[in-house]
Amino acid sequence: MTDTITIARGGVRAPVQPSGHPGLIFFILALGGFAIGTAEFAAMSLVPMISADMHVTVPEAGHAIEAYAAGVCVGAPLIAMLGAKYSRKYLLIGMMVLYVIGNGLTALAPNYLCLLLCRFISGLPHGAYFGTAGIVASSLVPENRRTQAVARVVLGLTIATIGGVPMANGLGMLVGWRWAFVLIAALALLTMLLIMRFVPTDPARPNASAMTEIRALRNRQVWLTLGIGVVGFGGIFCVYTYLASILQEVTHAPAYMTPVMLAVFGVGMTVGTMACAWAADRKMMPTIGGTLLVNAAALAGFPGSVHSVWGMMPIVFMIGCGGGLGTVIQSRLLSVAVDAQALAAAMNQSAFNMANAIGPMLGGMAISAGLGWESVGWVGCSLAMGGFVIWLLTLSDIRAAARRQAGG
């Protein structure tokens, strides 16, 4: 172990004194991801409880999910740009403070409109947190292990789909949905305190600015990479959103199988995150293309599996594994947006929230058109293949740039 740890400073890696072991820092950053993942996914399962308590319909209560997603899309680029010149450690602390406030106020929301506002506030730091934490994590390891470092942060979110969501949902059923958000606020507060104590302090970047970050986004590779995420990841959300309904309406599975199947998806996402990160640190672009193709195959197999719980399990696991694409996309953005790492990484979260909107929307259109619940698998497969087409365009652009450089 060297005597210093480095924190990315624009395109330069500036040495700072460590305050703890890198493994501990990864754990702390992942704990923040666990809190955020629990808040994002558990809120979906709490919608019926919120509906009953707030005296609104279930679809109206569901707008709380949309308010959170809107906060993510607004906050991710905004915080990244406004915070470009500040120490990333203090940005992380500030974002956790905002997360504590947002979720704490959600627990206290006196009415429906206040609830929507509080969910919007809670969503603001989501994308920027993962972007900033990913940059800090990747700076603690050699370049050939950077994607695995980012994955260890995102692992907190994937584990939340296995343990955090059932825990928050169970707490909501036992003592009320508000206490689930108290739990989330407490996790965020713990993360904030641990960051203050153990995460190394990197220097501020006074020469950085919002305009510097925006100018760096002129790189076509940034937008093509984001496009892969928006389209390619939409297929996963297309199936995940309707999984519980399919288990009830088509598979006719017992009620207890719904959380089991969601946990299978979460395990797949966790395994996929680590496996894709390992592969990407060796061959980045082939890993992206291969993940899209494997995910497309799994999604194509989904319609034929929906009549059997045991037939669905391996397919749902493989679809979950496709979630590993998110970490690889973020790592690639850190490579191609050297002078706008924070903004590009934060925009990655906005891109995946767009995928979270596009996938379910297209799947819902297919179901409404009378194509059947299982049609979401074919829609998801089409989106994964759409992401693969953008991957091919990205590869072509890389090769064209290499030819231009060699010729001139």
Higher pLDDT, 65 or 384: 384
Higher pLDDT, 159 or 218: 159
Ordered by where they begin, the domains of the chain are 1-208 (1.20.1250.20), 210-408 (1.20.1250.20)
Cα-based distances in Å from 106 to 114, 120, 176, 356 = 8, 10, 13, 22
Residue range 122-149: average pLDDT? Answer: 83
Q: And the tokens for 152?
A: 């260890």
Q: Which secondary structure element, helix H or strand E, spans residue 6, and what is its range?
A: strand 5-9
pTM of this structure: 0.76
12: which strand partners?
9
CA–CA dist 394, 306 (Å, integer): 34
Cα-based distances in Å from 75 to 307, 349, 402 = 41, 10, 35
pLDDT at position 4: 37
Residue type, 42: A
Sign of the torsion angle spanned by Cα atoms 182, 188, 189, 190: positive
Residue range 208-217: average pLDDT? Answer: 66
Give the number of C-alpha atoms closer than 13 A to the C-alpha of residue 45, restricted to the C-beta side: 26
pLDDT at position 3: 35
Q: Which of 197, 191, 120 is nearest to 160 (CA)?
A: 191
Q: Which of 46, 205, 141 is nearest to 334 (CA)?
A: 141
CA–CA dist 382, 232 (Å, integer): 9
**Please, are residues 236 and 107 in contact by the beta-carbon 8 Å criterion?**
no
CA–CA dist 366, 373 (Å, integer): 8
Helix, strand, coil percent content, the chain, rounded in steps of 5: 80, 0, 15
Residue range 245-273: average pLDDT? Answer: 84
DSSP string, 236-266: HHHHHHHHHHHHHHTS---TTHHHHHHHHHH
Helix (H, G, I), strand (E, B) or coil at 15: strand
CA–CA dist 402, 408 (Å, integer): 10
CA–CA dist 129, 32 (Å, integer): 8
* Number of Cβ atoms within 10 Å of the Cβ of 108: 12
Helices (H), 340-374: 341-368
15: which strand partners?
6
pLDDT tens column, 169-188 = 778 878 888 998 999 999 99
Q: And the tokens for 157?
A: 């979110």
Tokens 């091919």: give the residue: 392
pLDDT at position 166: 74
- On the question of pLDDT at 15 being above 70, the answer is no
